[in-house]
């Protein structure tokens, strides 16, 4: 608190790391690559969970829970899946420790597992192995299940929220009788994610499909939402996979269709993770700290009393308490910070750092005049207003702030979508401006790989509503029918 | 569904296993000892989570998240803790798999961890290692944190919900400036658990303290709530531990107190798990299936139409839909089962099996007469009543059912608390009747062990409000000042 943040211009990456720590969101743990999500950071995740879980249930899904461990052999069953996930994972080989007689705790070699267990990096294999027992007939379909859980992917370079060895997420796994139904589900959940990103997180996103290279290991199609951070780098904020019959075939999941014939089941999976907390921070926050959209702010309004005497404090508190009960009845979360161990200036800085959308301050003159000082975190505007109908005013202000944060991010994103018509221009934009670049590409894995190696930019997606346009690939000059969306990404 | 359940009298254990499977609550997974919690079973757990989480927050706690993995060396730091937990746990030794060149996926020996990681069996060690960085002064205290997570304890004999290698739970971990405050917290959370068990789960419990033998590894005192199942066996339904300064000392967590002196921090931890779903099933259910208290029933009311024509079906549906919207506005969860693929009798049996508290059925005659058939799951009473003010009637009925289920369990429990005044009587009651037995004990570990070995009964607790009474130990004849509570237990 005592020292300000590094500014975004100075060092964006350093700014992010400092902000996550100083705003009490998360910290590194004693276990390499694993984070501790602190109460304030976790409450943002709880807010995200509540919104998403409600939408999942409204779209017909139920939650369930599958084992943390996956037998090693399960990974080998879907060829491309094992390529993608088995390489970096936590492997359980023993089930007991013992005392070596010298007071040291060691692994008991007598307790070696016959088959190693993998800590789930994602659950398609264990879930489809289970679905085999649940599905006999078309009457058992669709299965619309979601799981909230932790997963582990062994990462060499980690960053709090953005890339950690263990992270929290939800993974939806659905089973359908027809290809068409599975594709509709894939698209429906992408829409749920996009709606959540834009209307709750206030982060505008582009919906699209991944290229073959960037596809989920085992999917026929990966749909994604792509967001732009303030440093001009993209961030994949959610994915929804059409898995075709790949996992049904790998795990022998068949059903009798309406015509009485046996067929393999069609599958989707979709997920978002605690990575979204990182995206939320990077999309909106400023050099003074977090900027949180009201819908995800754990504290939406804070009231700070400014008093010269106990008597004045009592009077201010009486007014504050009345306001608090009115705000609460509007479902607005409010905190009254009456700590006498800290000065108002310290408190102001703390709530700026923590991104509380609306800060109220009330002093002796406000008491007399029937006024209050109100400050918006997003614009940092301050004004003194009448306390009449204040609860209604604040409710509207919170809505306005939510929209305003979104529009700011939207303007920034739109200003940072550019077209490049040759490779030099492409590289120049990347280096000088960053952001999204629409460019023609010949559709080959080789060219995609070359661009990635030379510029660190990847194809983020082929937007769903992409304009068809004749052109030539910026690298090979081969013909192309549409521009695709490039960026450097987290 | 086609075949009924084994009756409780015939084989209680078999009855339980069949019920868990047939009511779609959970099943064994491909991973030894790990279960799959199916959507219906998981929704009961979600109900429990919602009630408990609200109470935790009302009592000042916040949620946070700590790593799944714990470095092996952490376990050695608290001597009695390692004894209790390090023996049976999942050990991660490697972080990569590879292809052996012959198409087999094998563990990559080049990716061996320097220090093995333990999949958390409980999180005291990793959390207290983290708290060291959070606590400097009394101003940083108390820390009131809870975590919802999965934990792993390698179990040789497992039963769905009751004892599984992986289970879901919550674990509270609090830090305090004084011993007194920590003891108050331990007791407060025991009360939260007891209140939840009795008023939400409708399961009466006895609050008490564990003996030294049965104490949590690393605690100075373990408080517990003990419930009685229908087969006369006890089940520990929640524990709250006063940890003293043990973990603060092991992880060097000190703070400057108000007097400016350094002192070790005082700790508590407390938890309940998915085991409670097993307790809920065993406490109330009958030979026809689940009996769920309304407060935890995922579906509280089901409506089944009984029609002879499409026209009649339309009319019934119109009445049903009006009722549904009225029930929903009273926050009653209701399902209209209008499937035309199943006959009413099949549906009745299904909802009995799944423990839906209130079942409504409406046919042609009801339409004409303004009536409806209403059936209570708990008593299996059926009657035809007027549809006037039906929503209000149902709301009251649900409250009555909640209370009635509790009272039934309370009567059963009270009828099955007996006193034994000699060892022969003790053994006779255990073998012939089961239940709780109050008996005098000399207070030694040896006698406790002898009783356990000879009778399989353990001291469940020393009740908090225990009557003081002179007597002699049933085994050794040594003097005793109070009876303690014995039972065979899950």
Same domain, B171 and B24: yes
Same domain, A130 and A159: yes
Same domain, B314 and B388: yes
If DSSP codes are grouped into helix, strand and coil, which group holds residue A77? coil
Write phi, then psi, for A124 (nearest 5 degrees).
-50, -45
The answer to whether B41 and B91 are in contact (CB under 8 A) is no
Contact residues, A window 327-386, toward B, CB-based 8 Å cutoff: 341
Q: What is the pLDDT of residues A165-217, one digit of tens each?
A: 999 999 999 999 999 999 999 999 999 999 999 999 999 999 999 999 999 98
Same domain, A326 and A263: no
ipTM: 0.96
Nearest chain B residue to A24 by CA distance is B134
Q: Which two tokens stand for residue A278?
A: 């990182």
Strands (E), A3-141: 26-28, 35-37, 62-63, 69-71, 91-94, 97-99, 105-107, 112-119
A38 touches chain B (CB under 8 A): yes
Does the residue A170 lie in any domain? yes
What CATH code is carried by the domain that includes residue A475? 3.30.110.30
Same domain, A243 and A362: no
Last residue of a domain, one of A397, A427, A444: A397
Does the residue A411 lie in any domain? no
Which pLDDT value is given to residue B155?
87
Confidence class for position A405, pLDDT limits 50, 70, 90: very high
Which pLDDT value is given to residue A1?
45
Write phi, then psi, for A207 (nearest 5 degrees).
-90, 135
- Total count of residues recorded for chain A: 490
- CB contact (8 A) between residue B39 and residue A67: no
- A102 burial (CB, 10 Å; 0-12 / 13-18 / 19+) is exposed
Does the residue B107 lie in any domain? no
Cα gap A286→A239, rounded to integer Å: 28
Does the residue A94 lie in any domain? no
- CB contact (8 A) between residue A107 and residue B89: no
Which pLDDT value is given to residue A478?
97
In our burial notation (b when 16+ CB lie closer than 10 A, e otherwise), range A343-355 reads: eeeebbbbbbbbb
If DSSP codes are grouped into helix, strand and coil, which group holds residue A329? helix
Mean pLDDT of B342-370: 96
**Chain B contacts of A116, Cβ < 8 Å?**
107
If DSSP codes are grouped into helix, strand and coil, which group holds residue A215? coil
Q: What is the pLDDT of residues B367-384, one digit of tens each?
A: 999 999 999 999 999 999
- CB contact (8 A) between residue A88 and residue B72: no
Last residue of a domain, one of A284, A312, A333: A284
- CB contact (8 A) between residue B31 and residue A94: no
Q: Is A356's pLDDT higher than 90?
A: yes
Same domain, A156 and A225: yes
Measured on CA atoms in the order A420, A422, A424, A427, is the torsion positive or negative? positive
If DSSP codes are grouped into helix, strand and coil, which group holds residue A104? coil
Mean pLDDT of A227-245: 98
Which pLDDT value is given to residue A44?
98
Mean pLDDT of A450-458: 98
Mean pLDDT of A461-477: 96
Does the residue B325 lie in any domain? yes
User: Which of A30, A107, A154 lies closest to B96 in CB terms?
Assistant: A154
Which pLDDT value is given to residue A99?
85
What CATH code is carried by the domain that includes residue B378? 3.40.50.800
- CB contact (8 A) between residue A34 and residue B87: no
Distance from CA of B216 to the nearest CA of A (A): 19
Average pLDDT for chain B: 96
Same domain, A314 and A437: no
Same domain, A277 and A312: no
- CB contact (8 A) between residue A139 and residue B341: yes
Write phi, then psi, for A354 (nearest 5 degrees).
-90, 0
Split into its structural domains, chain B has a count of 3
A36 touches chain B (CB under 8 A): yes
Last residue of a domain, one of A397, A430, A446: A397
B72 touches chain A (CB under 8 A): yes
B156 touches chain A (CB under 8 A): no
**Chain B contacts of A166, Cβ < 8 Å?**
67-69
Domain of B357 in residue numbering reads as 299-399
Cα gap B397→B382, rounded to integer Å: 13
- CB contact (8 A) between residue B63 and residue A71: no
Does the residue B43 lie in any domain? yes
The answer to whether B485 and B457 are in contact (CB under 8 A) is no
- CB contact (8 A) between residue B63 and residue A46: yes
Find tokens 């009995």 and name the residue: B352
In DSSP notation, A398-466 reads HHHHHHHHHHHHHHHHHHTEEE-SSHHHHHHHHHHT-SEEEEE--S-HHHHHHHHHHH--EEEEEETTP
Does the residue A87 lie in any domain? no
Which pLDDT value is given to residue B100?
83
Work out the end-to-end distance of chain B between its first and last CA atoms, rounded to an integer number of angstroms: 28
Q: Is A100's pLDDT higher than 90?
A: no
Q: How many CB pairs under 8 A join A and B?
A: 182
Same domain, B319 and B208: no
Mean pLDDT of B187-211: 98
Please, how many CA atoms are within 13 Å of residue A203, restricted to the half-sphere of its CB? 32
A33 touches chain B (CB under 8 A): no
Q: Is B2's pLDDT higher than 70?
A: no
Same domain, B308 and B236: no
Packing angle, helices A445-455 and A423-432, rounded to 10: 40
**Chain B contacts of A75, Cβ < 8 Å?**
97, 105
In our burial notation (b when 16+ CB lie closer than 10 A, e otherwise), range B293-332 reads: bbbbbbbbbbbbbbbeeeebbebbbebbeebbebbeeeeb
> What string of H, E and C letters represents the secondary structure of chain B?
CCCCCCCCCCCHHHHHHHHHHHCCCEEECCCCCCEEECHHHHHHHHHHHHHHHHHHHHCCCEECECCCEEEHHHHCCCHHHHHHHCCCCCEEEECCEEECCCCCEEECHHHEEEEEEEECCCCHHHHHHHHHHHCCEHHHCCEEEEEEEEEECCCCCCECCCECCEEEEEEEEEEECCHHHHHHHHHHHHHHHHHHHHHCCCCCCEEEECCCCCCCCCCCEEEEEEEECCCCCEEEEEEEEEEECHHHHHCCCEEECCCCCEEECEEEEEEEECHHHHHHHHHHCECCECCCCHHHCCCCEEEEECCCCHHHHHHHHHHHHHHHHHHHHCCCCEEECCCCCCCHHHHHHHHHHCCCCEEEEECHHHHHHCEEEEEECCCCCEEEEECCCHHHHHHHHHHHHHHHHHHHHHHHHHHCEEECCCHHHHHHHHHHCCCEEEEECCCCHHHHHHHHHHHCCEEEEEECCCCEEEEECCCCCCEEEEEEEEECEC
Does the residue B90 lie in any domain? no
Average pLDDT for chain A: 96
pLDDT > 90 in chain B, percent: 93
Confidence class for position B3, pLDDT limits 50, 70, 90: low
Mean pLDDT of A218-245: 97
What CATH code is carried by the domain that includes residue A176? 3.30.930.10
The whole model's pTM is what?
Answer: 0.97
Same domain, A312 and A449: no
User: Which of A65, A68, A96 lies closest to B152 in CB terms?
Assistant: A68
Same domain, B51 and B197: yes
Which pLDDT value is given to residue A3?
67
The answer to whether B167 and B112 are in contact (CB under 8 A) is no
Cα gap A287→A9, rounded to integer Å: 9
User: Which of B34, B76, B86 lies closest to A67 in CB terms?
Assistant: B34
Q: What is the pLDDT of residues B141-198, one digit of tens each?
A: 999 999 999 999 998 889 999 999 999 999 999 999 999 999 999 999 999 999 999 9
CA distances from A44 to A39, A201, A219, B133, B134 (A): 9, 10, 31, 22, 20
Q: What is the pLDDT of residues B51-109, one digit of tens each?
A: 999 999 999 999 999 999 999 999 888 777 777 776 789 999 999 999 888 878 899 99
């Amino acid at each position: 608190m005592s020292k300000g943040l590094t500014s975004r211009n100075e060092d964006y990456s350093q700014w992010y790391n400092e902000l996550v720590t100083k705003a009490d969101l998360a910290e590194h743990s004693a276990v390499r690559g694993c984070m501790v999500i602190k109460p304030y950071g976790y409450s943002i995740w709880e807010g995200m969970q509540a919104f998403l879980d409600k939408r999942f249930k409204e779209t017909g899904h139920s939650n369930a829970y599958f084992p943390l461990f996956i037998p090693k052999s399960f990974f080998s069953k879907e060829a491309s899946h094992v390529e993608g996930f088995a390489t970096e994972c936590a492997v359980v080989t023993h089930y007991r420790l013992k005392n070596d007689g010298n007071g040291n705790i060691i692994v008991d070699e007598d307790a070696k597992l016959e088959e190693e267990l993998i800590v789930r990096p994602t659950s398609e294999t264990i879930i489809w192995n289970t679905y085999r027992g649940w599905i006999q007939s078309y009457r058992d379909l669709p299965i619309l299940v979601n799981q909230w859980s932790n997963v582990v992917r062994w990462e060499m370079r980690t960053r709090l929220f953005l890339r950690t060895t263990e992270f929290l997420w939800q993974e939806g796994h659905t089973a359908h009788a027809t290809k068409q139904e599975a594709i509709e589900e894939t698209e429906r959940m992408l829409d749920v994610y996009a709606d959540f990103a834009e209307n709750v997180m206030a982060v505008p996103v582009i919906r699209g499909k991944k290229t073959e290279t960037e596809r989920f290991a085992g999917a026929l199609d990966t749909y994604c939402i792509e967001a732009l951070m303030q440093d001009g780098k993209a961030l994949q904020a959610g994915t929804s996979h059409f898995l075709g019959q790949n996992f049904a075939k790998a795990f022998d999941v068949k059903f009798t269709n309406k015509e009485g014939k046996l067929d393999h089941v069609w599958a989707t999976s979709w997920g978002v993770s605690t990575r979204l907390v990182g995206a939320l921070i990077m999309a909106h926050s400023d050099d003074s700290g977090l900027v949180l959209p009201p819908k995800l702010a754990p504290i939406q309004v804070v009231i700070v009393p400014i008093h010269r005497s106990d008597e004045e404090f009592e009077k201010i508190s009486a007014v504050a308490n009345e306001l608090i009960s009115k705000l609460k009845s509007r479902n607005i979360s409010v905190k009254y910070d009456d700590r006498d161990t800290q000065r108002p200036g310290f408190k102001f800085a703390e709530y700026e750092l923590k991104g509380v959308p609306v800060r109220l301050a009330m002093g002796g003159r406000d008491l007399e005049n029937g006024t209050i000082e109100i400050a918006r975190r997003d614009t940092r505007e301050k004004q003194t207003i009448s306390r009449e109908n204040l609860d209604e005013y604040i409710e509207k202000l919170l809505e306005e702030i939510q929209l305003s944060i979104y529009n700011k991010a939207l303007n920034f994103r739109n200003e940072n979508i550019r077209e490049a018509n040759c490779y030099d221009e492409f590289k120049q934009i990347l280096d000088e401006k960053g952001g999204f670049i629409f460019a023609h590409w010949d559709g080959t894995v080789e060219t995609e790989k070359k661009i990635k190696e030379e510029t660190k930019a990847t194809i983020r997606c082929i937007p769903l509503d992409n304009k068809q346009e004749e052109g030539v690939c910026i690298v090979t000059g081969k013909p192309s029918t549409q521009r695709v969306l490039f960026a450097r990404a987290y």
